[in-house]
A and B are shown apart, each in its own frame.
Chain A
Amino acid sequence: MIGRKPWVPWIWLSPSLLLLGVFLVYPVIDTVRRSFLDRRSDEWVGLDNYQFIIDNPQSLVADTHGAIFNNLLWLVLFPLIVVPLGLVLAVLTSRVKYEAVAKSAIFIPMAISFVAAAVIWRFMFVFDSDIGTMNALMVEINEDPVAWLQDQRSAQRAAFDIGPEEAWGPIQINNFALITIGVWMWTGFALVVLSAGLKSISTEILEAARVDGANEWQLFRRIILPILSPTIAVVTTTLVILALKVFDLVWVTTGGRFGTDVVATLFFKEAFVVRDFGVGAALAVVLLVAVVPIMVLSLRRFQFQEEIR
């Protein structure tokens, strides 16, 4: 903008810069520092804490490898399910009269605290098929009840009954169960943001496409999707990051037991239960590093947006 004083942008940014600096940047720096110190943050230990993560000596308390693997699982599955689901629902709901009701049904899980959510899913997943909804269903279809949150058998084995009996994972049933909870809770998020984006698409462009003979699918595929792509990028990026830092959900349901640990839960255990701040911090830093490539990717969409506006 011509004639805007160079310092003006910084005025607009300053409140955010300040708050982010205090509440996020400063702690991050502190954490990075701690990741090079020992468990009590007294002595300098160089890269030992990272070495610990790599060597994974205490797999029983802190299975760093397993946690990282689970995070990858979340990273891939969680957004991959939630985003398309949210998108479809956003489009569908926008076409019916009971939009608000439909949306809220999907959204309600978001409004439920993790503690409560844990309670619900206990009810869903309880092993006793008299109480547990899922197992009640399993019994209905003449299957054995499954210990959804504890069963470490690999999903593929459970499903198709192939592979050795004590095949533990790598992709465990209980991780799927947890991701299911995540999907249930977060689809509402994707739905709300995406439908907000949907609403801001010009009606006239949609009309033009219809006159051009686009059916609903082509309209979605060729017009809505591309125009919405920056918003989709926002949602996806956010969900990817959430998958990266997923904590409460795992913590309140399994506490990371039975090979459901993720990096964030490990970080928490190491920092506050085992009270090894060094390793804890190092694990947190892993998260920080992992986010960088994701951000770079999502920047592309914004450049695209600036092009067409």
Chain B
Amino acid sequence: GDDDDDDDDATNTPGDGGQVQLGEVDVLGIWGAEELTSFEAMVEPWGGTVNFTGTRDITSQLTLQVEGGNPPDVAAPAEVGLFQEFARNGRLTPLSACEGLEDLIRDKYPESFVELGEVDGELYGFFMKADSKATIFYNPGLFEENDWDVPDGDSSFDDLVSLSEEIRDSGTVPPWSMGMEEGAGTGFPGTDWIQQILLNESGGDVYDDIVTGEKGFDSDEMKDAWEKFGEIALGEGFVLQDGASAINATNFRDAIYTVFEDPPEAAMVYIGAFGSGFITTQFPGIEAGTGFDFTTFPGGDVTGGANIVYAFNDDPTTCDFLTYIAGAEAQQIWVELGGFTSVNEDVDLEAYPNDVARRLAEQLLDAETFRFDLDDAIGGGLQQAYFQGVTQFLTNPDQLDQILQQIEAARE
């Protein structure tokens, strides 16, 4: 992709903006499969041509292209660490460069998300396709049979533990299903646990301090979060995949499925909102709400991920494109197709395909405290260390302190 070929081989379709001759825009993202189809559906109405390249190794891909002097026009990765670095090194163009875009974001997007797009006060990017990670998926049928009461945002972590004990003692199935394996991303479900617990227990400021580095991973708050995670993960008979090696070796997807199989092998699984996607594809015709359901992670605060969209140039096509996809009409298209949670307030909640999806969106928008995925926020080596740390902690919980120190040591 490149940024100066718009004028010559322009497709000459007047865009929504109308005033510019729209050319091509090169987008580098991580979407594939049905996501990609939906994305293409979303940009279809836009006048210009979108050259989308998808890769799951986006950080290296971006680094290579930027270093090689050949960045895409627009990037939409999940990790903000890289984004911030690019911004600081002046590789990115601020959204202000595109007329009206910055205002649109500031008006329509929740504060917490806007802040995340700022570097040194300048707004460089905006978020779309957000995903709450304050979601515990469970098997409603199973809960009714054994009339266990479903925890919610208002219950506490201890309630969660006691529920786990109750389910375990009931001798039906283990309360949790847990899997960390995901190739190069192995360990991420654990990091989600920890960040969610951290936010609930120690609050947003501590969370932010961890991100910025004012507080280290070796801080007491952090350690507490890890230990709480350990209580569940390594709790006697708590987890279907019994023991560290099993948890580490089980792919997070397989872990999800076990809860909703017939008969179910576990009662609950903690996974980001995107988990619903796997459930519905794996079990076609499963009823949202009856076949599977989710509840807010006890504590009520919400962590979550999202794709951050930013641009490497400000030529008209690029700006027009950004403005288009930031807008409600565009995002509504994807929302209707499912698997997409918009943080643009103008997107009509009615647009969501089903109840679960709608509640996921609400949870995200109504959350009094929202924090961006910790590992994606820090990124780079620290993120790696964080991932590694989780799997190591599970195998050697007694070495927690030195693991945390080592993680902190990876901070740049």
**B93–chain A nearest beta-carbon distance, Å:** 21
- Say yes or no: A60-B406 contact (C-beta < 8 A), given A118-B183, A128-B250, A147-B249: yes
Q: Is the CB of B391 within 8 A of A258?
A: yes
Q: Does B59 contact A (CB under 8 A)?
A: yes
Closest Cβ of chain A to B46, distance in Å, is 31
A149 in the interface (beta carbon within 8 A): yes
Chain B residues, Cβ within 8 Å of A151: 245, 249
Q: Does B139 contact A (CB under 8 A)?
A: no
Q: A61 with B59: in contact, given A127-B250, A147-B245, A150-B249 (CB under 8 Å)?
A: no
Q: In residues 365-412 of chain B, which contact A (Cβ within 8 Å)?
A: 380-381, 383-385, 387-389, 391-392, 395-396, 403, 406-407, 409-410, 412
Interface status of B295 (Cβ within 8 A of chain A): no
- Nearest B residue (CB) for A148: B249
* Closest-CB distance, A14 to chain B (whole angstroms): 27
Q: Contacting chain B: which of A87-95, A195-203, A207-215, A273-281?
A: A273-281
* A166 cross-chain contacts in B, Cβ below 8 A: 396
| B381–A273 CB distance below 8 A | yes
Known contacts A57-B409, A127-B246; decide if A273 and B254 are in contact (CB<8 Å): no
Q: Which of B184, B241, B389 contacts A255 (CB 8 A)?
A: B184
A61 touches B249 (CB 8 A): no
C-alpha gap A258/B249 in the complex (Å): 10
User: Quick one: which of A39, A59, A148, A273 contacts B60, CB cutoff 8 A?
Assistant: A273
Q: Which of A96-118 contact B (CB under 8 A)?
A: 118
- Set of chain A residues within 8 Å of B60, measured between Cβ atoms: 268, 271-273
- Measured in the bound complex, the distance between the Cα atoms of B384 and A61 in whole Å is 6
Q: Mark B161-204, 1 if CB is under 8 A from A, else 0.
A: 00000000000000000000101111100000000000000000
Docked CA distance A226–B85 (Å): 58
| B184 adjacent to A60 (CB under 8 Å) | no
Tell me how far the C-beta of A266 lies from the nearest C-beta in chain B, rounded to whole angstroms.
11
Mark interface residues in A113-127 (1 if CB within 8 Å of B CB, else 0): 000001000100011
A220 CA to B250 CA in the complex, in Å? 47
**Residue of chain A at shortest CB distance from B186:** A257
Interface check A180, CB cutoff 8 A = no
B63 part of interface (Cβ distance < 8 Å): yes
**Residues of chain A lying within 8 A (CB to CB) of residue B387:** 257
Q: Find out whether the CB atom of B410 lies under 8 angstroms from the CB atom of A272.
A: no
Min CB gap A281→B, angstroms: 12
Query: In the assembly, what is the distance between CA of A255 and CA of B60, in Å?
Result: 14
**A255→B186 contact, CB < 8 A:** yes
B258 to chain A, nearest CB (A): 9
Interface of B is mostly: helix
Determine the residue in chain A with the shortest Cβ distance to B392. A60
- A253–B183 contact, CB under 8 A? yes
Residues on A with C-beta less than 8 A from B307 are none
Q: Is the CB of A254 within 8 A of B381?
A: no
Q: Which residue of B lies closest to A149 (CB)?
A: B249
Q: Which of A151, A166, A275 is most buried by chain B, counting CB atoms within 10 A of its CB? A: A275
Contacts of A257 in B (CB 8 A): 184, 186-187, 387-388, 391
What's the least CB distance linking A154 to chain B, in Å?
14
Within 8 A of A (CB), among B332-363: none
Provide the bound-state CA to CA distance between A147 and B85, in Å.
Answer: 37
Q: Mark A212-256, 1 if CB is under 8 A from B, else 0.
A: 000000000000000000000000000000000000000111111
A60 pairs with B385, CB closer than 8 A: yes
- Say whether A274 contacts B381, CB under 8 Å: yes
Q: A57-B409, A58-B409 are in contact. Are A127 and B385 (CB under 8 A)?
A: no
The interface residues of chain A lying within 8 Å CB-to-CB of B396 are 166
Q: Tell which of B82, B186, B406, B412 touches A254, judged by Cβ atoms closer than 8 Å.
A: B186
Q: Which residues of B are found within 8 Å of A269, using beta-carbon distances?
A: 381, 384
* B323 part of interface (Cβ distance < 8 Å): no
Whose C-beta in chain A lies nearest to the C-beta of B406? A60
Cβ of A81 under 8 Å from chain B: no
Q: Give the interface centre of A152, A268, A272, A276 by most chain B CB atoms within 10 Å.
A: A272
- In the assembled complex, how far is the CB of residue A295 from the closest CB belonging to chain B, in whole angstroms? 29
Query: Any chain B CB within 8 A of the CB of A131?
Result: yes
A residues near B412, Cβ cutoff 8 Å: 39, 274, 276
Report the Cα distance A118→B395, complex, angstroms. 24
- Cβ-defined contact, B246 with A60, below 8 A: no
CA distance A60 to B187 in the complex (A): 13
B248 pairs with A150, CB closer than 8 A: yes
Let me know if B249 and A131 touch, CB within 8 A: no
B97 within 8 A of A: no
Name which residue of chain A comes closest to B381, CB basis: A274
Render A37-72 as a binary contact track against B, CB cut-off 8 A, 1 for contact.
001000000000000000001111110000000000
Q: Are B183 and A252 in contact (CB under 8 A)?
A: yes
Contact across chains for B403 and A60 when beta carbons are under 8 A apart: yes
Q: In the assembled complex, which residues on chain B have CB atoms less than 8 Å from the CB atom of A268?
A: 60
Partner among A60, A127, A128, A276 whose Cβ is within 8 Å of the Cβ of B407:
A60
Cβ contacts under 8 Å, B250 to chain A: 127-128
- Closest approach, in angstroms, between the C-beta of B140 and any C-beta of chain A? 25
Q: In the complex, are the beta carbons of B184 and A275 less than 8 A apart?
A: no
Residue on A nearest B187 in the bound complex, by CB: A257
Q: A-facing mask of B121-133, CB < 8 A → 1, else 0? A: 0000000000000
Which residues of A are interface residues toward B (Cβ below 8 A)? Answer: 39, 57-62, 118, 122, 126-128, 131, 147-152, 166, 251-258, 268-269, 271-276
Q: A61-B388, A127-B250, A147-B245 are in contact. List 16 more A-B contacts (CB 8 A).
A: A58-B406, A61-B410, A127-B245, A147-B246, A147-B249, A149-B249, A150-B249, A151-B245, A151-B249, A252-B183, A255-B186, A257-B184, A257-B387, A273-B381, A276-B381, A276-B412
Instruction: Write 27 A-B pairs (CB below 8 A) sorted by A numbering.
Output: A60-B392, A61-B381, A127-B241, A127-B245, A128-B250, A131-B254, A147-B245, A150-B249, A151-B245, A251-B184, A252-B184, A253-B183, A254-B186, A255-B186, A257-B387, A257-B391, A268-B60, A271-B60, A271-B63, A272-B57, A272-B60, A272-B64, A273-B59, A273-B381, A273-B384, A274-B384, A276-B381
